[in-house]
Amino acid sequence: MNSVVTRFAPSPTGLLHAGNYRTAVFAYLFAKHSEGKFIVRIEDTDAARSKPEYEANIIDALTWLRLPADEQYRQSEHRPRHRELLEKLITDGMAYISKEIPKNPGDREKVIRFKNPGGAITFTDVIRGDITTDIGDLGDFIIARSLDEPVFHFAVAVDDSDEGVTHVIRGADHISNTARQMLIQRALGFPTPLYAHLPLIMDSNHKKLGKRSGAKAITEYRDEGILPEAMLNYLAFLGWNPGDVREYLSREELVQAFDISRVQKGSAIFDEVKLFSVNQHWMRKLSDDDFITMSDLGKLALRSDIVLKVVPLLKERAKTFKEAREMLTGELSCFFNKPELDKNLLLAKEPPERPGIAISALKGLLEPIKALPKGVSAEVVKTIIMPFSDAEEAKGKGGRGAVLWPLRYALSGVERSPDPFTIISILGTDESISRISKAIAILEG
């Protein structure tokens, strides 16, 4: 075991979720931290349930996460080897063909069982310490349905040995499988790898994360606009930490910092809110041009010069690229479309005791806005408008809102939008004046 070899061995029987890929992340980081090898093995021996589209999805997800395999295998390709070793165990008297009484339709009348020697097996889990299993309780367990149909325990034991796997990193729900696999390894004269059983990942209801409980396929998060850097960062922190205060680590930093001894024993919680927060951090680190490219904003066929100006707003508000695209056609659509205004909404915050303040405010703001230079910043616009609104506030209750609300609505035409200073700075003075004038005409009509 001079050179570390880990593996990720998913079954292509469905779309895998974040809990599955957390195992891949830990196996990859441990191997690369140790300057070892990371293997991906598609365990497709369940022919009835394995689907090529699920296998393709697994490879797509690993590619997206940037977890390249040093070697890749498909378990079904190893059937001749499995058959050879099954025959060897039968010949050596360590396994036998067992005649069965079928209990259910489709049950086999003959299977291959391992001859259990009894006693106990102890192994030292890298994370959990010594674990002992009374193997007598396992009985003579099935290792194949036929010579060409090995079950999970047998195929895994053979493949791990043949591929030189030194460390088996997998979920804690596999602890009960370890004794069977160690018995098979011993019978075949194979070395036993070191085992590290990771804490399970729970959902927000503290139930095991799984497809049956509604866990999303990880590629759904990709399609929503989660960055691979963010997902990798988040998954690495599910049950592990670098031992310091850092929360955001790049792939290279994770490889350098990963220490399997820091993996906790207790379950971790998959929290979408936290994932989106981590994603927002990595989105904000992108250059504006990269943000536009990676979020596919160009596909919306909007004015590219305005899109570039709006990117800082998207970085401030959006937690996924999907959300960013929705904002450009929603609360930020005012930058690309002239608003349709409702007179009642223009007057929505006008105090009853101060009728006419809305139109008076809009008219009063026209001249100061006309005097603004081109390319003016939101901060400068604010220094012009706020004294005016503060003066109205001093005259009577509700003055500030009665100034800023009709101005913002006149500029945007939506109830939820950026502040009017930002809108003016992005639209420019000419377009802003045009929209304010339109609102005045509606109030005068």
Compute mean pLDDT per 10 residues along the chain, 445 residues long, and list them.
88 92 98 97 90 96 97 96 98 96 88 96 96 95 95 96 97 95 98 96 87 82 96 97 95 97 93 96 96 86 86 96 92 92 92 87 91 92 89 70 90 92 95 96 91
- Strands laid side by side in the 37-42 sheet: 5-8, 37-42, 71-74
> Are 69 and 40 contacting, i.e. CB atoms less than 8 angstroms apart?
yes
pLDDT for position 349: 86
Q: Which amino acid is at 199?
A: P
Residues 6+ apart with CB under 8 A from 259: 33, 242, 243
> Are 132 and 121 contacting, i.e. CB atoms less than 8 angstroms apart?
yes
CA–CA dist 343, 406 (Å, integer): 10
Residues 6+ apart with CB under 8 A from 50: 11, 12, 13, 44
Element (H, E) at 149: strand 149-150
pLDDT for position 94: 97
CA–CA dist 112, 151 (Å, integer): 10
The model carries a pTM of 0.90
Residues 6+ apart with CB under 8 A from 313: 327, 332, 418, 422
Element (H, E) at 157: helix 152-162
Centre a 10 Å sphere on the Cβ of residue 40 and count the other Cβ atoms it contains. Answer: 22
Q: How far out from the chain centre does Cα 404 lie? A: 39
pLDDT for position 353: 82
> Are 171 and 145 contacting, i.e. CB atoms less than 8 angstroms apart?
no
- Distance spanning both ends of the chain, measured CA to CA: 85
Three-class HEC string of 214-269: CCCEHHHHHHHCCCHHHHHHHHHCCCCCCCCCCCCCCHHHHHHHCCHHHCCCCCEE
Residues 6+ apart with CB under 8 A from 316: none
Centre a 10 Å sphere on the Cβ of residue 251 and count the other Cβ atoms it contains. Answer: 19
Per-residue pLDDT tens digits for 158-170: 999 999 999 999 9
Element (H, E) at 73: strand 71-74
> Are 19 and 231 contacting, i.e. CB atoms less than 8 angstroms apart?
no
Per-residue pLDDT tens digits for 121-160: 999 999 999 999 999 999 999 999 999 999 999 999 999 9
CA–CA dist 143, 236 (Å, integer): 34
CA–CA dist 54, 43 (Å, integer): 12
Q: Which amino acid is at 30?
A: F
Q: How far out from the chain centre does Cα 315 lie? A: 18
Pairing between strand 95-99 and 167-171? Answer: unpaired
Helix (H, G, I), strand (E, B) or coil at 131: strand
> Are 121 and 133 contacting, i.e. CB atoms less than 8 angstroms apart?
yes
Helix (H, G, I), strand (E, B) or coil at 38: strand
CA–CA dist 310, 233 (Å, integer): 27
- Strands laid side by side in the 167-171 sheet: 129-134, 120-125, 194-198, 167-171
Q: What torsion do the CA atoms of 324, 326, 332, 335 make, to the nearest 10 degrees?
A: 100
Per-residue pLDDT tens digits for 290-311: 999 999 887 777 888 889 999 9
CA–CA dist 147, 46 (Å, integer): 14
**Nearest CA to 199 among 258, 267, 260, 259?**
267
Per-position b or e across 298-329, b if 16+ CB within 10 A of its CB: eeeebeeeebebbbebbbeebbbbbbbbebbe
Residues 6+ apart with CB under 8 A from 426: 306, 309, 310, 335
CA–CA dist 404, 253 (Å, integer): 46
